[in-house]
Chains A and B, each alone.
Chain A
Amino acid sequence: MNSDDNSSPLLSPVANGVPIRLMNKLAILSDAAKYDASCASSGATKRDSLTGSGVGSTEGMGICHSYAPDGRCISLLKVLLTNFCTFDCLYCVNRVSSNVPRARFEIDELVDLVLSFYKRNYIEGLFLSSGIIRDPDYTMEQIVEVARRLREVHDFRGYIHLKTIPEATPELLASAGRYADRLSINVELARPDSLSALAPQKEAGGIRQAMAGIRSKLDESRDRSHSGRKAPGFSASGQSTQMIVGADDANDGELLDCSESLYKGYQLKRVYYSAFSPIPDASAALPLAPPDLNREHRLYQADWLMRFYGFAVDEIVAGGENGMLDPALDPKLAWALKHRERFPVDVNTAERELLLRVPGLGTRGVDRLLTSRRLRRLTLADLGRICGSVARMRPFVVTRDWRPTALLDAGGLRAQLLQGSAQLSLFD
């Protein structure tokens, strides 16, 4: 489809002042994009528009400009360039065999929409993905062109996240990285055999190869040349990926193992877990059930333990049964209950690594605790002021005025904590 319409796409045709055609496209192409969990806008290089001619800034911390009733943050305009697709990935709402309505943005139409939304402070930027049309290179070129016009024609300095098509050539990947703050490629399924069964045109090896390509570009961009000059920027906030949870039989252990190898191998910033959700016009080959949001939530908690708390995957998984996390307890608490011999921990003397293992004590709490205890020996009340609540910590810590005595050995501790957390959530 060539751009044969030179008039501003926002100007025609209208009903009650609203451009209906554009509105319908936007409806279809945002509906098609909502199964991508990521909406992060953090981690970009700090910049603003004071020195430029356009709009936009990034200040490190992402901003969520709204929240949908599904509790998900709306930070970016997350759309597909088109939901026409020649691939037939069974879990995907846009697969060629689905009967969903189809649409496609003109490049300038989308560019205008991003700028108009941005100027009204609705969004931090754009997260652009696309169905595969014609061939992977053509599709990738179109995606890159949107980013290029935003950056070069309009001097847009907001956030851009581009979904990369693994089958596209490395040159296209390189230019995507020049304009984007973040690149991502979805691994979709932890098991390669599931991927070939459910997404016949995708190939696990190719996906990892493309991730490795991005990683080496990221490494290059951090190097300085022999003259000390900095390499041109490349996707400053790194790369991320997404795994679908519950579309195949892979257990939590397999998913977390896959994440760990991705974090290590390709230095990913984030792995997103997306509970397989019923989609309009779903394939008969997949489970049609409400998404398992609790499982998704536990996986995110486990992912956090792995990245910020020094837990190994097998330690986390050992907190549950048969490779699955305990659905009723957060994985740190589940681990602690199975390792009671490691507790109680004296908050006035314990090392950081050990403090990080205490249920209810987060990374920031640990940092504040370490500064405070330099000046005085901490009491339970001090701990409460530092960390917000001691309800969950109580059985696991020793303070100047508190020792849990027999609490840790009590057979009913799990039940007690379960009840406690149910009560807590009632009053959240």
Chain B
Amino acid sequence: MNRHSGPPTLHTVQLQRPDDFDGWRLIARQHLAAGTLPESLVWEAGEATADLFSEPLSPAEPTVPPNPSRPAAPLPVVPRAFLELARCVACHRAPDRYALLYRVLWRSCHGESGLLDMPSDPDMHRLHILGKCVARERHKMHAFVRFRQTPSVEPEHFSAWFEPEHHTLRLSSGFFVRRFANMHWSIVTPEESAHWNGQTLQFGPGGHRSNNTAPEMMEELWKTYFANIFNPARLKLDAMRSEMPVKYWKNLPEAPLIAELVHNAGARSQQMVEALASDPPRYARRATAPPAQAQAQAQAQAQAQAQAQAQGQGQGHTGNKDG
């Protein structure tokens, strides 16, 4: 892919973390100023093999040899929207993401101004796809992280285990800080963990699913809610799966209920359709008496309510032992 006669000299850029957008930005600027061709850069972002807590290479002092064959280009004025996009793309797992980002910057400085605003360009199109994946993963993380209270810890502490598809822990953690600012919490992923103590946010090593806090009582209530808010007459599995992909199910306490809810849905809705109307309870006749009997009605309503409550308790509170 060399544009010159000889093969280009390759420079390897080592970024600090997989999602090191700021590091990339700094180094990309220096290489742009030096006129380094996109094809002579190899971007490495510490994926998988890198130790997150080893002494980081400082992004402030990379060695960028000036490229004599190219005049230094003026640094591009980058639209804010592109920076937002690039910040997301940096969190993607695609190995070529940093190279792609550098390439569009380079192109926009070499005769293709306006490129960064052009979603129809194939490179930009791909960046938008990567960015969209990450933005979606961030959103799903905001939605599907499930905290469990750590037993017998004061002050209250909550922790969650999550397996993001991309490197979105840092990207999404600001949301949790703003939302749960007065709570102590941890979010642990396989690669990295985030910890908030009500004051500061710290990042630490990743963890294992087996070390997640045990299920707690509140999950039973949440599952009760999930099962009962579902309307069996409206089964739409595809809609559910497209918004809540199966890959997230293993860490959602309510997901194990889905199979049974779906299995019984047909019979339950058939029952509702086929059931004959029942006789209204006796109190109902009095409660809905015609207005001519308005005076008697008020009294009847009071009675109706008393009866209704008695009935409600009889039917609804099967486990009520304390009366």
Contacts and interface: CB of A to CB of B under 8 A. Distances in A.
B321 interface: yes
A55 B230 contact: no
B301 interface: yes
Nearest to A28: B316
Contact of A117 (B125, B218, B252, B311): B218
Contacts of A14: 217
Contacts of B280: 96-99
Interface in A10-38: 12-15, 17-28, 30-31, 33-35
A18 B221 contact: yes
Interface size of A as a range: 35 or more
Interface string A271-306: 000010111111110001111010000000000000
Q: Which residue, of A28, A122, A289, A291, has the highest number of chain B Cβ atoms within 10 A?
A: A122
Contacts, number: 270
B182 A102 contact: no
B240 A71 contact: yes
Interface stretch (A58-66, A162-170, A328-336, A401-409): A58-66
Nearest to A280: B272
Contacts of A28: 228, 312, 316
Contact of A99 (B119, B228, B238, B278): B278
B221 A23 contact: yes
B318 interface: yes
A70 B235 contact: yes
B82 interface: no
A181 B183 CA distance: 23
Contact of B312 (A84, A289, A386): A84
B244 to A, nearest CB: 4
Given A21-B320, A70-B234, A71-B240, A55 B182 contact: yes
B7 to A, nearest CB: 32
Helix, strand, loop or mixed for chain A's interface? Answer: loop
Interface size of B as a range: 35 or more
A49 interface: yes
Contacts of A71: 234, 236-240, 243
Contacts of B227: 27
Contacts of B233: 277-278, 290-291
A65 B143 contact: yes
A386 B229 contact: no
Contacts of A172: none
Interface in A74-90: 74, 77-78, 84, 86, 88
25 contacts: A1-B309, A13-B320, A20-B317, A21-B319, A26-B225, A28-B316, A33-B229, A65-B143, A66-B143, A66-B252, A66-B254, A68-B261, A71-B237, A71-B239, A72-B234, A96-B280, A103-B312, A119-B158, A278-B233, A279-B272, A288-B273, A290-B269, A371-B118, A371-B119, A374-B114
Q: 10 tightest CB-CB pairs across the interface, nearest first?
A: A71-B239, A102-B312, A20-B319, A71-B236, A97-B280, A284-B277, A48-B178, A382-B120, A101-B315, A97-B284
